[in-house]
Amino acid sequence: MANDWPLWEVFIRGQHGLSHRHVGSLHAPDAELAVLNARDVYTRRNEGVSIWVVKSADVTASAPSRKGPMFDPSNSKTYRHPTFFDIPDDVGSM
């Protein structure tokens, strides 16, 4: 039953050239079946060309309570944002 199965995070590459994006999670007994389950649950409408799965337990996350010290200091440092460049149209999506 799903209660015994580990949870897997699913990442799908929408098309060549783009990076894998997190799309959700699911249960599966092992990695191979997690890929097959991800194919059935998340790519029914031709959403992807590649799938990664990672055990949710293997993801180390930052603590929500540390949000302030982690992220607030960069708020006021606008000079770190590369917004002062004109990007030529030919570059496409960045």
Partner 1 sequence: MIEFLLRMGDNTLVLGHRVSEWCGHAPVLEEDIALANIALDMIGQTRMWLGLAGEVEGQGRDADALAFRRDAWDFRNLLLVERPNRDFGHTLMRQFLFDLWHHERLADLCLSADDRVAGIAAKCVKEADYHLERSTDLIIRLGDGSAESHARMQEALAALWPYVGEMFTDDDVDAAMAEQGVAPLPSSQRARFDTALQDVFATATLTRPESDFAHQGGRTGTHTEDLGHMLATMQFLQRAYPDARW
Q: Which of 17, 62, 69, 58 has the alpha carbon at shortest distance from 34?
A: 58
**Structure-token match 């599966």, residue found:** 28
59-90 as b/e: b if 16+ CB within 10 A: eeeeeeeeeeeeeeeeeeeeeeeeeeeeeeee
Which of these segments, 38-46, 51-59, 77-85, 86-94, binds partner 1 (CB under 8 A)? 38-46
Q: Count interface residues toward partner 1 (CB under 8 A).
A: 16
Q: Does 12 bind partner 1 (CB under 8 A)?
A: no
Which of these segments, 24-32, 47-55, 56-64, 82-90, binds partner 1 (CB under 8 A)? 24-32
Choice from 41, 52, 55, 56 touching partner 1 (CB under 8 A): 41
Sites of contact with partner 1 (CB under 8 A): 1-2, 5, 26-30, 32-33, 36-37, 39-41, 44
